[in-house]
Structure 1
C-alpha cells in the first residue's frame, strides 16, 4: 500500500510543474515580443525636431553662417548621428577651437569658441637663418585665424629649411601667447642644433673606377679639415638624388649602358653626429660603337648624305650624348634640304660577344604637327625675346620634341631663372601644339670681393660688380676694380650674346691698367678700348673678329737708373696702337667624342697701322692636349705656345710691345726672368723678344693621402726660348741673349683644392739656363672669391 501511495503522489505532482513551465515560456515570449515592439519607439526617442537655433560664443563669425554650416534646416527632424555630422562639419571649418551642440526642446543650442586671431609672428633661437627667409616660408600670417594644424605645418616647413642646410637635428616648436580680444602672438622657438656632416662616402660594386674617382664627381663631399668654409660635406637629403643622376650620367657617357644605382643608404654613425653614405651600384660591361649606318624610309631622301654628316665612328666608346648630337646633326641637314617633319630614330643592336652596339639611324616622317604658339609666363623683368631666341623653333614650324627639350636646357643654362618649365600641350586642333614656358626669375646681379696673390704682383684685392641680365635684355654688364702691390686695373665689360637677334656675340672692354713692378725699372700705364665679335662656325669651333685701340706709355720709376734700351723707350712717351685682329678657336674638351680627353687649339693674328703710332703684325698660337689614364686618376697634359712680332715702319718697338715671359707661361723664372737683357748703366733690364715658344708637359695624380685634405701631387717639365731684338734701339746698350737659347726646367707641384680656390705650389729647378737669367725656384698662385 505504501508503495502505491508513493507512486500515486509522484504522478500527481507533474501537473503543477508543467503549468509553471508553460507560464515561464509565455512570459519570456512576451518579453521578446515586447522588446521588438517597443524598439522603434526607443529610436524615435533619440530624434529631435529643430525649429530654432541659439548660437553662443561667436565673435567674428555670423550666427547665420554657423547655422548654415551645420546643414540643419528649421523644422527638420534629426537623429543623434546627424547631430554628430553637424558637429564635425563645424570643427572641420577650421575656425572653431571647441564646438558643443545641445538640443533643448525644439531649439538647438550651438556653443562655439573661435580660434584666436594672430596678432604677430616672431622667430626665436635662429642664428644661422634670417627671419625674413623663415617668415616667407610659412603660411600663418598676422590678422589671420590661428589654427594648431597650420602652425605645426609651418614648424615642419622651417625644420625642412634647416634640414636643407644640413641641420637635421633642428627642432621647431610653435607656441602662443594669449592677448586680449581673443588674439595671440605666435612664436616659433627654434633649437638649431649642429650641422651633420658626411663622414664617409663609399661605393659597393665599383670595379672600373675607384671610390676616389667617383667621389670627385659627386656634389656630396666627405668632411674635411676646412669644413668651416666648405658646405659640400653637409648632409642634404635632396642632394643624394642629384648625386645618383650624376653618377649615372658619368657611367653612361663611358659606355656602361647597363649601369644602375641599386641603392643609396644613409646611416648615422654610432655617436649619431655624422652620416655614412654608401652607394650600391652595378657597373655592367663597357660597350663601344659597332657598325654605324643610316637608312631612309622617306621616298626621295638619300641616306648617304645623312651618313656623311655623322662624326661617330666604330670603336668609339658608346655615349648617349653622341647619339643625341648625331640626331641633331641629321635633323639640321634635313631642314637645309627642305625635308619637313623629319624624325631620326636610332635603333641599337647589342653584340654581347664583342661588347659593341650597332646603331642604325632610321630617317622617318614624323606626325604632321605644327607649333601653334609659344606662351611665356612668369617673366617680370626678362623680355620675352630673350627667352624666345633660345628656341630654334618659331610659330608655324613643324613640332620637334627634341628641339623643344634642347631649348628648355638653353633657357635653364641662362642662369636667369630659379625655375624654368617648358611643356608642350595640344593646341586648338590635334595637329597643333602650344609650348608653355613657365619661369620664375631670380636675382642676376652680384657683388664679388676677392683676394689674390702672386709672386709677380704680390697681394691684392678685387671688387667686382656684375649684372648678367642687364635691363632684362640678357646682356652682361660688369665692373672690375683690382689692385695689387705692383699693378692696378679698372675695367668695364659689356656683352650682347645675340647681336641683331642672331647668335653673334658682341663684347666690349674699356679699361685702365697700370703697373709698378719690383721686377722692372719702369712703370707702365695703358688705356684701352676693345670691341669684339664672336660666332660659332661649328659645334666645337668659333671665330672672333676684334678691334683694339690703346694708348700706352712707359715711365721712369723714382730714383731709378735705366739701361740704354729702356731709357730710349721711355723717351718715346705716349704711343697709340690701332689694331684689327682675327682668332680661330677649336675646343673638343667638353663636346668631343672622348670624355676623358680633349684638345684646344687657338691661333690669332693682329695687324696695327690703321691709324695710331705703331705698325706691326703679331701672331700667336697655342695648343693644349689633355687625357686621363689609370682609371681617370692621373691627368696628362701637354701644351705649346708660340708668338711672333713683325715690326713695321721706321720707329723702334718698345718692351711693352714685345714678348715678355712670366712664371704663368714658363715656370722656374721670375717675371721677364729669361730672354734678352740690357746690362748697360749697371742695370739688368729685361727687354723682351720678337719671338718666343714654350712647351709644357705636366701630370697631376693622387698622393695617397685622405681625399678630404684636397691634396694632389704633380710633376712638370717646361722648355722654351725668347729671342730676336730686331727694331730695338740698341745704341749704347750692352745686350746679352739676343740670339736666345733653349731653357729646360723640371719641377714638382702640390695642388690644394680649398674653399678659396685652387692653390698651386711649384718647386722648380732649371736644368739649363743662361747666367743672366733670373731663376725662381718657388712659385705660389692663389685666387680667392668670397
Structure 2
C-alpha cells in the first residue's frame, strides 16, 4: 500500500458553522484510517523511507522548523512506516493544527497542515437568567488567541456548572464556530437554560421533639413558595446541603441533644427535572441537662475554689456546647490574669443515662509549650490585614491556644465580610513554633436600597438607603438613608468605627434632619442636629455607651396662626437648642445566652442637658425585654416593660421636642400623640408628657391555614401605657382651666398577621381599645409595609 493513501486519509475540515462533535468525529475517523493503513503495511514486507528534502505547506503562524521538530524525521535517516506514523500523531496531538497531511514523494516528504484559526470574537447566546459578564468570567478562551476545541469544550462545561449552581440542572451549552476570512472564527456558546430546579419540599424523618415546620426555619434553604421567582434560597444548590446539615446539628446540640445524629440528607430529582425533594433523616436521641460542674487541677499554683467560682452554669440547665466553651474561656482568662501561661482547660464529660445528665469536670492543666510564630492571611483583596488580625486575641510571639484560634475563626466569619473563612494551624520553622493560616474569600458588603412604605400614621412614602459595612476595606460602617412620606421626611448619615484607637471601642458619628406636618397636631416641627459617641464591653453580655448630641428644634403653628396653638406650646414657638451628654448601660442575652430558647435585654440610660443651649434637664429611660420560646419553639412569647422620666432643672418648663409622645412602639391601638396630656382649651391639643410607662405582651404563633413556606404567622398582644405630667399646666395664663396631665393607664388588645417576605416584612394589626378617655384617638387598624427592591 502506497504512503500517498496514508496522507490522503487525513482530510481537511469543512467550512461554516460546524459543531465540534462532528469535526471531532471526522478527525477520529481519519486517525483510525491512518492506524489501519499502518497496521496493514506492517502485514507485508516492511518498507523503509529516506528523505533528502522536506516541504511544509499551509503554515502561517507556526514556524517550519517547529513542525519538522514535532515530526521527528531527520534528513537522510532511514525510517519505516510506523516511525512516520508516530510523527504524524505528534503533529496531531500538538493542538496546533486542525488537519495534517503527510505525503511521501520519493526522496521528498510533503507536509500539509491547516492551522487552528484565531478567535475573532466570543459571544454567548440564549442566556437570560445569567448575565454575559458573569458567564465570561468563567471561560478561558479569549479573543485574538488560537482557537482550541478542547478548551472550548471545557468552557462549555464551566458555563453549564454556573447554571447548575443557579439551580438550572437541565441547562445545556453547545460551543460552535463561525468561519470568517483570514483564518479567523467567531466562537459562539449556545445556551439552553432550561427550568429552575427548585426545592419543592423539605421533609424530616425521625424527628419527635421538633416539628418539620420548626426545623425548616433552621435551614438556609427554603421551600418554593409564591415568591419563587424572587427567592434564591428555594433553588437547589448541592453545596448548601452541607451547610444546612451543620445548622441542623448545631440546633440540636445547643438544645441538649448530645447524641443527635444526622443519618442522611438526600435530594431526589423529580421526573421532570425541575424540582427536588430534600429529605433529612435524623436520630434525635434524648435531651440532656448539666449535672455537677466542677473545676479540678493537679497544679500547685491553681486555687481550685477560685476557679470553681468562675463556673456560671448551674446544674439542671440544658446541656449546651456553647456554655462549655464560654466556661473554658472564662477559666483560661482567669489564669491569664493570674500571670499563668500555657494553662489549658479540658472538659471531661461523664454521662448519667439514668437521669439524663452530663457531669463536667473542667481540668485545669499545663498545656504544650507552643508559641505563635506568625499569622498568614490570604484571599483578602479589599479587606485590610489589620481588620482580620484584630479578631485574634493572640499576636505573634504569644502562647498558642487552640481554643482561642477556633474562637477567632468564628469571629471572622461573624463579620459578614467573607463568604468563606478558614483558620488552621501548622508547624512553624521550629518545633515550638506554630503558624496560623487564615484563608478568606470576600463577598459584597454594600447595599443600595429603594423602597416604598405605607402606614396609617404617616401614609404612603418612599425611601433611599445606602449601607457599606466594610468601608474601604477598613471594617468601618457607613450608612445613609432618606425617607419621605405625605406627613414627614427624614434623612441621616452615620459613620461607625468599630475599633477606635485599635481597641474594642466602637466610635460613631451621625447627622440628621427631620421635619413633620402631622395632621394629628396643630403644629409643625423641624429638627436638625448631630451626635457622636463611643461604646465598649464591660463584661459578658454587658455594654456601656457614652454619647453627646446637639439638636436645633423648631416648632411653628400650623398655617402660621399661633392663636390656634395651646398656650403650653406657644411658649416653644421658634428655634430651641438642646445640648446634652448621656450614657446607656445594657445587658443582652437574647440569642447569646446559655439557653437559646430564652433571653433578656435590660437597658438603663440618662441624658443631661445644660451644656449650652436652651434646655436644662435630666432624662432617664429604662427598658426590660424578655423572650421565651415554648411548645417546642412553635410559640414565641415577648414581654416589654419600659418607662422614662424628664426632670427639668432651674425651674424651666420642658420643651415639646424633649417630651415623650405616643408612637406604635409605646402602645398600639392609638394614633401618634393619641394619648397623654391634653389642652382642653385648644381643641384637645396633644402636648406630650414628662413621664411615660408602657407594658407590652405578645405571643407569636404559626397559622395553620397558610402553607408555611409563605412565611405567614399570627400574633396576639396586649398593650398598656400612660404618658403624663407637665411642669406647667396653664401655660402661664391666668384664669384658664388646667390641662389634663394626670396619670391614666390606656390599654388595648389586638391580633396581628405577620408576613415575612423576601421583599420586606409586612404586618397587619387589628386592635381595640379597652381603656381610654373620650378625647384619646384610637387606631383600630395599622398596616406597615417596607418593600425593598
TM, length-normalised to structure 2: 0.89
Contact 2:322–2:594 under 8 Å retained in 1: no
The aligned counterpart of 1:445 is 446
State the Cα distance separating 1:101 from its structure 2 match.
Answer: 5.5
Taking structure 1 as reference, are residues 702 and 472 closer, same or farther at Cα in structure 2, changes over 3 Å only?
closer
Larger Rg: 1
The aligned counterpart of 2:532 is 531
Secondary structure at 1:45 match in 2: coil
State the Cα distance separating 1:734 from its structure 2 match.
Answer: 4.3
The aligned counterpart of 2:611 is 610
Contact 1:652–1:728 under 8 Å retained in 2: no
Q: State the alpha-carbon separation in 1 of the partners of residues 440 and 203 from structure 2.
A: 37
Taking structure 1 as reference, are residues 442 and 237 closer, same or farther at Cα in structure 2, changes over 3 Å only?
closer
Q: State the alpha-carbon separation in 2 of the partners of residues 565 and 656 from structure 1.
A: 16
Taking structure 1 as reference, are residues 533 and 189 closer, same or farther at Cα in structure 2, changes over 3 Å only?
same
Write out aligned runs for 1:404-423 (5 A).
Answer: 404-423=405-424
Residue 701 of structure 2 corresponds to residue 701 of structure 1: yes
**Alpha-carbon deviations, 1:536-566, whole Å to 9, x = none?**
1123110001111111121111166534334
The aligned counterpart of 1:495 is 496
Taking structure 1 as reference, are residues 335 and 110 closer, same or farther at Cα in structure 2, changes over 3 Å only?
farther
Match of 2:747 among 744, 754, 757: 744
Secondary structure at 2:213 match in 1: helix
The aligned counterpart of 2:566 is 564
Match of 2:769 among 744, 763, 766: 766
Query: Unaligned stretches of 5+ in structure 2?
Result: 1-41
State the Cα distance separating 1:568 from its structure 2 match.
Answer: 2.1
Secondary structure at 2:539 match in 1: coil
Residue 691 of structure 2 corresponds to residue 691 of structure 1: yes
Of residues 388-397 and 76-85 in structure 1, the stretch that sits farther from structure 2 once superposed is 76-85
Write out aligned runs for 1:292-371 (5 A).
Answer: 292-371=293-372
The aligned counterpart of 1:251 is 252
Contact 1:653–1:728 under 8 Å retained in 2: no
Q: State the alpha-carbon separation in 2 of the partners of residues 304 and 80 from structure 1.
A: 92
Q: State the alpha-carbon separation in 2 of the partners of residues 109 and 325 from structure 1.
A: 80
The aligned counterpart of 1:455 is 456
The aligned counterpart of 2:27 is none
The aligned counterpart of 2:548 is 547
Of residues 756-765 and 497-506 in structure 1, the stretch that sits farther from structure 2 once superposed is 756-765
Q: State the alpha-carbon separation in 2 of the partners of residues 302 and 78 from structure 1.
A: 90
Contact 2:754–2:763 under 8 Å retained in 1: yes
State the Cα distance separating 1:355 from its structure 2 match.
Answer: 1.8
Q: State the alpha-carbon separation in 1 of the partners of residues 305 and 146 from structure 2.
A: 72
The aligned counterpart of 1:781 is 784
Of residues 645-654 and 553-562 in structure 1, the stretch that sits farther from structure 2 once superposed is 553-562
Q: State the alpha-carbon separation in 2 of the partners of residues 260 and 192 from structure 1.
A: 38
Secondary structure at 1:217 match in 2: coil
Q: State the alpha-carbon separation in 2 of the partners of residues 286 and 82 from structure 1.
A: 75
Q: State the alpha-carbon separation in 2 of the partners of residues 486 and 243 from structure 1.
A: 45
State the Cα distance separating 1:117 from its structure 2 match.
Answer: 1.8
Taking structure 1 as reference, are residues 186 and 553 closer, same or farther at Cα in structure 2, changes over 3 Å only?
same
Taking structure 1 as reference, are residues 270 and 386 closer, same or farther at Cα in structure 2, changes over 3 Å only?
closer
Taking structure 1 as reference, are residues 330 and 73 closer, same or farther at Cα in structure 2, changes over 3 Å only?
farther
Taking structure 1 as reference, are residues 105 and 334 closer, same or farther at Cα in structure 2, changes over 3 Å only?
farther
Q: State the alpha-carbon separation in 1 of the partners of residues 73 and 393 from structure 2.
A: 62
The aligned counterpart of 1:395 is 396
The aligned counterpart of 2:759 is 756
The aligned counterpart of 1:178 is 179
The aligned counterpart of 1:65 is 66
Q: State the alpha-carbon separation in 2 of the partners of residues 392 and 716 from structure 1.
A: 44
Q: State the alpha-carbon separation in 1 of the partners of residues 79 and 330 from structure 2.
A: 75
Q: State the alpha-carbon separation in 2 of the partners of residues 494 and 714 from structure 1.
A: 36
State the Cα distance separating 1:678 from its structure 2 match.
Answer: 0.8
Taking structure 1 as reference, are residues 449 and 86 closer, same or farther at Cα in structure 2, changes over 3 Å only?
same
Contact 1:217–1:247 under 8 Å retained in 2: yes
Taking structure 1 as reference, are residues 339 and 66 closer, same or farther at Cα in structure 2, changes over 3 Å only?
farther
Q: State the alpha-carbon separation in 2 of the partners of residues 230 and 451 from structure 1.
A: 19
Residue 727 of structure 2 corresponds to residue 726 of structure 1: yes
Write out aligned runs for 1:32-431 (5 A).
Answer: 45=46, 55-69=56-70, 86-99=87-100, 110-431=111-432
State the Cα distance separating 1:350 from its structure 2 match.
Answer: 2.1
The aligned counterpart of 1:715 is 716
Q: State the alpha-carbon separation in 2 of the partners of residues 198 and 553 from structure 1.
A: 55
Q: State the alpha-carbon separation in 1 of the partners of residues 214 and 567 from structure 2.
A: 53
Secondary structure at 1:437 match in 2: strand
Q: State the alpha-carbon separation in 2 of the partners of residues 294 and 85 from structure 1.
A: 77
Q: State the alpha-carbon separation in 1 of the partners of residues 380 and 166 from structure 2.
A: 29
Secondary structure at 1:631 match in 2: coil
Of residues 346-355 and 585-594 in structure 1, the stretch that sits farther from structure 2 once superposed is 346-355
Contact 1:522–1:557 under 8 Å retained in 2: yes
Q: State the alpha-carbon separation in 1 of the partners of residues 48 and 324 from structure 2.
A: 75
Q: State the alpha-carbon separation in 2 of the partners of residues 383 and 209 from structure 1.
A: 43
Q: State the alpha-carbon separation in 2 of the partners of residues 641 and 467 from structure 1.
A: 32
Q: State the alpha-carbon separation in 2 of the partners of residues 108 and 263 from structure 1.
A: 65
Taking structure 1 as reference, are residues 756 and 54 closer, same or farther at Cα in structure 2, changes over 3 Å only?
same
Of residues 541-550 and 281-290 in structure 1, the stretch that sits farther from structure 2 once superposed is 281-290
Contact 1:563–1:678 under 8 Å retained in 2: no
State the Cα distance separating 1:779 from its structure 2 match.
Answer: 1.3
State the Cα distance separating 1:189 from its structure 2 match.
Answer: 1.0
Contact 1:126–1:191 under 8 Å retained in 2: yes
Taking structure 1 as reference, are residues 92 and 439 closer, same or farther at Cα in structure 2, changes over 3 Å only?
farther
Of residues 635-644 and 736-745 in structure 1, the stretch that sits farther from structure 2 once superposed is 736-745
The aligned counterpart of 2:16 is none
Taking structure 1 as reference, are residues 736 and 125 closer, same or farther at Cα in structure 2, changes over 3 Å only?
same
Q: State the alpha-carbon separation in 2 of the partners of residues 272 and 369 from structure 1.
A: 54
RMSD: 2.5
State the Cα distance separating 1:70 from its structure 2 match.
Answer: 5.1
Contact 1:568–1:729 under 8 Å retained in 2: no
Secondary structure at 1:574 match in 2: strand
Write out aligned runs for 1:614-693 (5 A).
Answer: 614-681=615-682, 683-693=683-693
Of residues 348-357 and 693-702 in structure 1, the stretch that sits farther from structure 2 once superposed is 348-357
Contact 2:659–2:688 under 8 Å retained in 1: yes
Q: State the alpha-carbon separation in 1 of the partners of residues 293 and 47 from structure 2.
A: 84
